[in-house]
Structure 1
Amino acid sequence: MKKIAVVLCGMEYSNQQELVQGMIQYQSEHGGSIHVFHCSGDHLQTGGYKRGAFKIFDLLNPKDYDGIILARETLHEKEMQKRVVKRLQESGVPVISLGAKTEGMGCIEFDDYDAMSRMVRHVIREHGVRKIAYIDGPKEYSDAAKRAQAYKDVLEEEGVPFDSHWFFKGDYSVEAGTYVVSELDRMHRIPEAIICANDCMAAGAIMELQDRGYRVPEDVLVTGFDNVSIAKDNSPRITTVDCDRETMGYRACEYLMTKTAKEIQKLCVQIPTTQICSESCGCEREGQDDGREIKHRLIRQSAKTKDYQKRMNEVFNSFMKSKKVKDFIQPVKEFVPGLETECFYIAFRDTDAFARRMVRSYGDKDLLQDAAWDEVETERYRLPIAYEKGVFSSYGELEPGMLLPKECTADENVVSFIMPIHYQEHFFGYCMIGHCDMATEADLIKQWMLELGNAVESVLKKQILQNITEKLDRMSAFDSLTGLYNRVGFQIQADKYKMYAKSSGRSLYISFIDIDGLKKVNDTYGHHEGDWLIKTIGECLKKASHEEEVCMRFGGDEFIVLGLENVADGRHLEFEQEFQNNIQKVNETQEREYQVSASIGSYTIEDVKNTNLQIVIERADMEMYLRKKKKRG
């Protein structure tokens, strides 16, 4: 059974939906597995959003597939597009590029130049107009470039002067059409016709013309391109070019399933286009309905999505109450069975580790930019939700490069959609859904993935904020070099120990420790060696201390230990001996040009209630000093 991967972006657009519908149709007739890797990022999104969304394509391992379909120009982030193309070219796997010729790949495309040429000729010859404005598509699109060139060439061919003031850059959005008309009206240069490089811009132009009192087509003719749903639903219906993208998607699957790698590499197929002359240019077609079918279709569509929307909102509300990413599992399990899909999977990266990395990099602007998570394809993912044929299961870490564990087989012989879970540039994992109504309902699946990414980000922010708060608390209470309490932390602990000693009737003792010869070590071997000595003494203190003892770095070369003891047991003497034994072990195992040494003095507090702790520290310090003096001889 053959397996195909599809790489595309922008399933919220009719063009891509029609492509995928053709692929679904082929799979339903002939079988095989199709994995559609896609995201909703487009050329209008921010750079951070694109970087996060497009990381889904890093998960594609070409060697896992018998063939790949690449909708190259839907990948609007150029660097990512180059990376994907290069990986596919180097893989040796047969690839068919849709709509754009690419070295080493087969190609299926429409003749955009010829189709636009026919449209411009139709407007000039059939309707007799010569003042024709043009709204271009994004400059990075090869189809937009071909359509724009056809407009210019036909004007010259028909003897119509090209006027740069009537040539406008657009971005394929409805807003581009409205903006151009507003500019034309502002300049008092409303033309006889506006030819648009796609239907969305045509719909925007018509809407703005009507809002400004112009009639379409009586005052201004408008044409579009692509024959997407907005052209059919618009009033007036838009004159356009039908690009049969369902056939394109179907044929791409068919060729990959039936032709050899060499045949595919040489493949160059053009899918015929059809010019549809309709109301927006004044060519009313016979048999057009009165709009009731459009209304019925919209009602059916609304009814189909209403239940999904209600249940999705319930899941989203549960997400926002979650404290950990693992809290998402139960709400998702309650939601998934209603999708009526063969399979559903969610895989997460180690979000807890991400939170810890963010906390460690707190205050460092560069590190907060997700640099630690760049290697998406080598990350180990966890699969907490695996739904196959009505049964839920979960899996731990997957092997690097694996989308699913070998035990998961429900994605075989179906069409599955693989989408990124991300927030801006932060990529958290992926969701894989078998073919179902929600997976191909663009607005629903876009909202699902957007809310899922937002929820993960929200939970992580709470977790990171909590961790940073704890980190700041530790920073205010602990010495950064040794990890022992500093004076602030020690005072908090000392108050607790005094209360416990009072309530339990036990005594307290304080030991004062001073490193011998720290200044000489710093002067002779440098402060790096001095820091090592300070940390080593701190470790010796920690190893000697028990649960009922707290260690503090008092400052510089001085330390204090506070502990509970019974007057009769002499715990402070035991502690002193263990501490000196630990120092001796260091000298036996560490090859240093000097002997590690420290002096210690202790004082026991029997009357805890009426004793000033600072006075006791001074007495312990004096005891330590006397011992140090005695040690020096």
Structure 2
Amino acid sequence: MINGKTIIALCEYRVYDSQEFKFVTELNELLKAHDCRMFIYAINNEIGNSGDNLAETKVFDLIPYDKVDVVVIRDEKIKSRNTVQNIINKANEAEVPTIIVDGEYENVSLVRYDYKTGFEKVVRHIIEDHHVTRPHFMAGKRFSEFSNERIEVFKKVIAENGIPYDDSMLSYGDFWSVPSREAAYELLKRDTLPEAVICANDIMAINVCDVFQSAGVKIPEQVIVSGFDGIDEAFWSMPGITTSITDSADLAATIMDTILSVLDGNRNLDRWVEPKFIPNESCGCPRCTQDLLSAISGLNNRFYHHQDDIHIMQVITAKVMASQTLSECIHYLRNPMTDYVCCVIEKSCLDLENNFFLEDIEPGEKVIFYDAYDSKEGIKPYNPDEIMPNLDQILELGYPIIYNSLDYMGKSPGFVCYTYPRYQMIEYAKTPSITNSLSMGIGGYVSMRYQHYLRNKLQEIYQHDALTGLYNRLAFLEQFEKLKHAPEHDGRKATVIMSDLNGLKQINDNLGHGAGDAAISAVAESLKEACPKGALCARFGGDEMLAFILGDCDVNLIKTMIYEILKDKSNLLGFTVSASIGFYETTMHESLDLDKVISIADSKMYEEKRIYKKNKK
């Protein structure tokens, strides 16, 4: 419960399909009347036939079981027993009651479709009302429980009407288009066509009609065809398909009644919804126009808007992926298409030290990446206890909150939720496109950002000496050439400083090469610290460092600073580190001979080194 309102979590599939949209709106209005609110956790792609570990199913991990009062799962839509059982287990652990729609699970309440009774009405209509004596049944898959049940119904009805059954009356269309068309072609090869082809679902019925009509067989004058399950296409096709449909209002009312009973403390309920029989043209009855005009109008609107929306989202996706900065990336997401969108991602996606999509990174702290309700752009902390920003305001409106999981390279970097303040199928139909675009855009941006990071890191490794961190000789020369040919530097004072570690051989011989490396690093660090910001500092040889300074500088002060820094580093290291320093001042111009300048500074440095060695003796 949140703010005194009962929360119902609905686990769904494709909420933008017309039947699902009708069901969602019907159920939500019933829930609102009882001061309940609905959170929808939806997937947009079928997972039952492609495994259970897809990133899309991560959306079900978002269910806040400590705040949800009832979980409703559309098992026949999700089609993944492992996924559904996982939701049930988590709900049971939190002592949240679960209602399963059209599925068989233990310790849950069930709302089931009475397919057997619904299908029997179709078969009786064909056999008894149209007086068919030579029927044929096109079943689904051979080992499907639903298909086998419908075969038994077919056998029962024809037996009661004195029609003996034989195996020639049965073929299999696997519930899908290609197998059903192949089965229809086989029927056309027979000397005598059946009077009716009773199909186990609408998809097969539509394809049987198409194959027969393409061969010149008239439907229903020569062969009657029927389907079952009431998909939209059954009412749009020519002829309209005789079918049976689960009415959205009946289903919503039954689920609402079950929810109320569960909230009263009842458990393990068993409720049934009987599909509604709808005769249509394919059996010779008048055409059924059930929601046909509104459905076609909605389809047209969705189609034409869909073309524009795809183009808009493609542009947004491309801009987001190509963004140079995080703020630029977030800015491009702000668009009328994302007016009611909130996007939350894993904070680790923004960690440049790791690749979220290629490494095994556990889900952790999340951040709000984009919030349409907040005009201030930028990453903000996400508090999972608050569910989402502006939740109080959204709950008061009373419309469903729809959650989708982001999916990129098989991993879920976060989620997106939609808070439309009305029922509009066109808006619901946008959700998969927006989710996909956000997944591609954000996922692409994170991947590109990591690639840029690796490129810069490789560039840094390529340009910098591993021991000292200073430019290597090649990188120094490259940077010097850029300065040399820049017109704004022409005529400016230029200073070259050469620094060489004293007594490297003795340090290596007496203290080891590790100490020698520490001494070289100390000289490099002292040179970089003492030189002005912007100076080009490089390791030019084994223990020889170089600094190139543009502009005025006090070389003697730099030398003094180097000596002082080395004195401090000597105390830390436990042995003396000193350096000889030489310099040369000149003027920057395009024809400056760097080798000559370095040679002069080098000579002065060696002159100081000779004095150092003489004094040591």
Same fold (TM over 0.5): yes
- Quick one: which amino acid aligns to residue 149 of structure 1? N
- Give CA deviations for 1:110-158 in whole Å, capped at 9, x if unaligned: 1234444565566567523354332339x8xxxxx33112134346665
Q: 1:532 to 1:152 in 2, by over 3 A?
A: farther
Tell me if structure 2 keeps the 8 A contact 1:130–1:160.
no
Tell me if structure 2 keeps the 8 A contact 1:135–1:194.
no
In structure 2, the residue corresponding to 1:381 is in which secondary structure?
strand
The alpha carbon displacement at 1:95 in A equals 1.7
- Give CA deviations for 1:57-98 in whole Å, capped at 9, x if unaligned: 232212122222122343356664454333223221122111
Tell me if structure 2 keeps the 8 A contact 1:419–1:449.
no
Aligned to 1:347: 343
The alpha carbon displacement at 1:308 in A equals 9.0
Identity among equivalent positions (%) equals: 17
Q: Name the CA distance, whole Å, in 1 between partners of 2:417 and 2:518.
A: 48
The alpha carbon displacement at 1:203 in A equals 2.4
In structure 1, the residue corresponding to 2:152 is in which secondary structure?
helix
Q: 1:275 to 1:552 in 2, by over 3 A?
A: same
- Give CA deviations for 1:273-331 in whole Å, capped at 9, x if unaligned: 33334332x2525xx46x69734653476469867976886676566556432223543
Q: 1:543 to 1:502 in 2, by over 3 A?
A: closer
Q: Which runs of 5+ in 2 are unaligned?
A: none
Q: 1:541 to 1:84 in 2, by over 3 A?
A: farther
Q: 1:148 to 1:618 in 2, by over 3 A?
A: farther
In structure 1, the residue corresponding to 2:240 is in which secondary structure?
coil
In structure 2, the residue corresponding to 1:386 is in which secondary structure?
coil
1:294 to 287, 292, 295: 292
Matches within 5 A, 1:90-489: 90-116=93-119, 119=122, 127-129=132-134, 131-136=136-141, 145-154=144-153, 158=159, 160-161=165-166, 166-170=171-175, 176-182=176-182, 184-185=184-185, 192=194, 194-257=197-260, 259-260=262-263, 262-263=265-266, 265-280=267-282, 282=283, 284=285, 288=287, 294-295=292-293, 298-299=296-297, 302=300, 317=315, 320=318, 323=323, 324-328=328-332, 330-332=334-336, 336=339, 344-349=340-345, 354=349, 357=352, 367=355, 369=357, 371=359, 375=363, 378-386=365-373, 396-405=380-389, 408-412=392-396, 414-420=398-404, 422=406, 424=408, 425=410, 427-438=413-424, 442-456=428-442, 470=456, 473-479=459-465, 482-489=468-475
Aligned to 1:364: none
Aligned length: 588
Q: Which of 216-225 and 529-538 deviates more?
A: 529-538
Aligned to 1:546: 532
Q: Name the CA distance, whole Å, in 2 between partners of 1:481 and 1:160.
A: 88
- Give CA deviations for 1:390-444 in whole Å, capped at 9, x if unaligned: xx67783222454324674233351223233735445454132234243675534
- Give CA deviations for 1:184-224 in whole Å, capped at 9, x if unaligned: 52796677455544323432343343334343345554332
Q: Name the CA distance, whole Å, in 2 between partners of 1:429 and 1:519.
A: 62
CA RMSD of aligned residues (A): 4.5
In structure 2, the residue corresponding to 1:606 is in which secondary structure?
strand
The alpha carbon displacement at 1:107 in A equals 1.5
- Give CA deviations for 1:210-245 in whole Å, capped at 9, x if unaligned: 334343345554332222322222222222222234
Tell me if structure 2 keeps the 8 A contact 1:72–1:97.
yes
1:493 to 479, 485, 503: 479
Q: Name the CA distance, whole Å, in 1 between partners of 2:309 and 2:16.
A: 21
Q: Quick check: 1:614 aligned with 2:595?
A: yes
Tell me if structure 2 keeps the 8 A contact 1:113–1:149.
no
Q: Which runs of 5+ in 1 are unaligned?
A: 140-144, 171-175, 337-343, 362-366
Q: Name the CA distance, whole Å, in 2 between partners of 1:545 and 1:231.
A: 81
In structure 1, the residue corresponding to 2:276 is in which secondary structure?
strand
Tell me if structure 2 keeps the 8 A contact 1:601–1:622.
no
Q: Name the CA distance, whole Å, in 1 between partners of 2:150 and 2:503.
A: 88
In structure 1, the residue corresponding to 2:394 is in which secondary structure?
coil
Q: Which of the pair has more CA radius of gyration?
A: 2
Q: Quick check: 1:41 aligned with 2:37?
A: no
- Quick one: which amino acid aligns to residue 412 of structure 1? E
Q: Quick check: 1:575 aligned with 2:563?
A: no
Tell me if structure 2 keeps the 8 A contact 1:385–1:393.
no
Q: 1:563 to 1:181 in 2, by over 3 A?
A: same
Q: Which of 8-17 and 185-194 deviates more?
A: 185-194
Q: Name the CA distance, whole Å, in 2 between partners of 1:321 and 1:523.
A: 60
- Quick one: which amino acid aligns to residue 229 of structure 1? D
Q: Which of 209-218 and 21-30 deviates more?
A: 209-218
Q: 1:210 to 1:28 in 2, by over 3 A?
A: farther
